[in-house]
Structure 1
Amino acid sequence: MLHIVNGDIVGDKLRAGNIRGDILVWREVYPVGPVFVEMDEPHQRSPRVEYLERTLGISADDYVTHYKSQEQILQNFHKYNEIVLWFEHDLFDQLMLSYLLHWFSKQTLGHTKLNLLCIGDYPGIDLFRGLGQLSAKQLEALAGTWQRIGQKELETGSRIWEAYTSPDVERHVEILHQDTSALPFAHAALELHVSRLPSAKNGLGIVEQTTLELIRHGVNTPHELFKEIGNRLSVLGMGDLEFWYRLRCMSERPHALLEIRGPHTFPDHRKKTTASFEKCEVALTEVGMTVAAGVKDWVEMKGINEWYGGLRLHDDLTWRWDSDRKQLVYTE
């Protein structure tokens, strides 16, 4: 049996418990940077490698090494009679799950049976963020409660992945109007995905907007901001390295939304935290106050060059996302 899980913490706890089988930790961050329908093509992988190194500090060598290792195990899936996918409700995991379901939907499974364990809460935990919160014993208690993956789950995962990797923004929205109930947590996660796009109100995505609101209400250190963002937008499943990148973008001049006061260096994947960064204070600039109030559009002021899945956002962006009406609004 092969267990595919979403992170090293979960993998280590499964190994510590009485879980039969091999463990494959799937190391990816699909909510961040460019992704494509077929991720195993080198010419498509290279822009992702460059992006993750530039934004999150993940070295190209590390990424390629992990990628090749996990893909090799996946290619040899026929050696296992059963495979269990362990995932949770947030966007981070739902995209990972969709990728794997898309991949398996293109394979001849033969004797291999696919199973899914996917949860969005756990008894006794008020704000369930993920499987990593559970102890080895709690994870062990979940063993065997997984459900068989059938054609409907494979097709749904594949449709989600193909929509998310599309360069057409309308496909990112259309998937919200399709039946994705075979994967019960997908719809809420995908709604939060499109809410990351520039809004009709001021050009900010939900992460940037929420960050400015928190600062206006007195949350003024990087780590407190990350904690509160995690509480308010837990369905994103956003890691610290991605948030530091978003914070860095918001503080870059010209047209910075916020100012980070004090000497500091943003953490990267090699150095998770620095003492100077922990002691910094964050405050809104005049631009930040104006944009947060909806008086100006940040994309119009600053421009944009960003990726969300297969969607690349350029300066000539002609649409915004209206979160109230849940639809695209075109500017010309």
Structure 2
Amino acid sequence: MDNIIHILNGDSTLPILEQSGIKGDVVVWREMLCEGRLSIDFASDEFWNNRYTYFETEIGVKRLDYFDKTIKEILKLKDLSDYNEVVLWFEFDLFCQINLLAACTYLLDNYVKKANYYLVCTGKEKGKEGLQSLSNYSPKDFKKLYANKSPLSKANLMFAKGCWNVYVENDFEKLKAYNFNQSAKFEYLELAINQHLKLFPGTNGLNHIENKILEIINSSALAENEIIRALLIWQSTETVYGFGDLQYFQYLKKLNKYYKIEDSKYYLNNFGKTILIFDENK
């Protein structure tokens, strides 16, 4: 019997996989590489130091906690010589696609010739409206997803690493010009990168998400959790960011010079209104 290891996009996928009865060891990818400072050499000392700093200063996660929950999991992928099959489980959105590029880069850097590599990436599905996340599937469905997994060649992993290098450089013009649609194996990558391009500052100095937050605050008097809920609804219908509550809380917090809080409700101040009008007139 083949020795199998599954690389999951997050903790929410784990119980579904476990209930599916699909055999194999599991690594849960808990990074969110679409946010914070990066370096091209994935898993290098410089890389982890950048991530330590980001999580500690921006998110409030202690270094030891980050190491235990995130780095220790990823480092399990450094030596896969005991495995014949490596299966990546990811989704269509920006959050997942960047993590997928990093995972492929790390797998290529530690390539095992005897292993077969596969990708399960959810998104479009015939007969279903909208793009599908892994959480939309039942344990029984997971068996079908696994049966239809797509093989990844070494050339596919090399393509992913090339895309990772361009992404980490984070140059708007280079990202815009690069052909992220070269490989059918990564069919949602171009869509995700186009979404990422909206995170560069616009005409008023704010990006797509920041302007949306000001727009939501301006539309109605809302409490913090209501603003986050509105952002998640907007995200699910109009974007492919794939962000969680935590990321949107961070965005909201950093915009504090544009709003005031009265009786737990958020309101734009004069500066915020001016900035928002400037964006609307772009």
Question: TM-score, with normalisation over the residues of structure 2?
Answer: 0.88
Match of 2:177 in 1: 174
Query: Is the deviation greater in 163-172 or in 3-12?
Result: 163-172
Find the aligned partners of 1:81 and 1:290 in 2 and give their Cα distance.
59
| Partner in structure 1 of residue 79 of structure 2 | 76
- How far 1:283 sits from its partner (Å)? 1.5
The aligned residue for residue 109 of structure 1 is 112
CA distance in 2, matches of 1:295, 1:43: 37
Quote the residue 1:204 is aligned against. Answer: 206
Alignment of 1:239 onto 2:250: no
Cα 1:260–1:181 shift into 2, 3 Å: farther
Residues 98-130 of structure 1 deviation map (CA, whole Å, 9 limit, x = unaligned): 011122233342110000010114567645462
SS at match of 2:187: coil
Instruction: Tell me, in whole angstroms, the C-alpha distance in 1 between the residues paired with 2:161 and 2:277.
Output: 39
Distance in 1 of aligned mates of 2:139 and 2:180: 38
* Greater share of helix: 2
> Alpha-carbon deviations, 1:63-101, whole Å to 9, x = none?
122344223310121211101101110011000110111
Deviation digits for residues 246-305 of structure 1, max 9, x if unmatched? 100001xxxx1122334xxxxxxxxxxxxxxxxx32221111111011179xxxxxxxxx
Secondary structure of 2:56's aligned partner: helix
Consecutive unaligned residues of structure 2, counting only runs of 5 or more, are none
Distance 2:270 2:34 in 1: 30
Q: 1:117 to 1:289 in 2, by over 3 A?
A: same
Per-residue CA deviations over 1:172-210 (Å, capped at 9, x if unaligned) read 3333576354411001111111111111x2111000111
Equivalent positions of 1:56-75 (< 5 A) are: 56-75=59-78
Q: Deviations over 1:129-152 (max 9, x none)?
A: 621233323323322110101244
Alpha-carbon contact 1:15-1:23 (below 8 Å) kept: no
Gaps (5+ residues) in structure 1?
263-279, 297-321, 323-332
Kindly indicate whether the alpha-carbon contact (under 8 Å) linking 2:166 and 2:175 is maintained by their aligned counterparts in 1. Answer: yes
Q: Does 1:283 align with 2:271?
A: no
Q: What is the SS of the residue equivalent to 2:247?
A: helix
Residue among 212, 215, 236 paired with 1:213: 215
Distance 1:215 1:122 in 2: 35
For 2:268 and 2:213, the matched residues in 1 are separated by 10
When structure 1 is superposed on structure 2, of 84-93 and 213-222 the one drifting more is 213-222
For 1:177 and 1:15, the matched residues in 2 are separated by: 33
Aligned residue for 2:77, secondary structure, equals helix
**Cα distance in 2, alignment partners of residues 158 and 72 from structure 1:** 18
CA distance in 2, matches of 1:76, 1:65: 18
Q: RMSD between aligned alpha carbons? A: 2.5
Query: Tell me, what secondary structure is at the counterpart of 1:293?
Result: helix
Q: Is the contact made by 2:163 and 2:180 (CA closer than 8 Å) also made in structure 1?
A: no
**How far apart in 2 are the matches of 1:202 and 1:21?**
50
* Cα 1:197/1:64, change in 2 over 3 Å: same
1:222 corresponds in structure 2 to 224
Question: Which moved further from structure 2: 103-112 or 156-165?
Answer: 103-112
Judge which range, 129-138 or 144-153, deviates more: 129-138
Task: Verify: 1:3 aligned to 2:10, yes or no.
Answer: no
Distance, in Å, in 1 between the alignment partners of 2:204 and 2:214 is: 12
Larger mean Cα displacement after TM superposition, 96-105 or 170-179: 170-179
Q: Offset at 1:4?
A: 0.5
Aligned residue number for residue 294 of structure 1:
278
Task: Check 1:242–1:111 CA distance in 2 against 1; reply closer, same or farther (3 A cut).
Answer: same
Paired-residue identity, %? 25
SS at match of 2:13: helix
Q: Which one has more relative contact order, counting CA pairs under 8 Å at least 6 apart?
A: 1
The one of 251, 254, 278 equivalent to 1:249 is 254
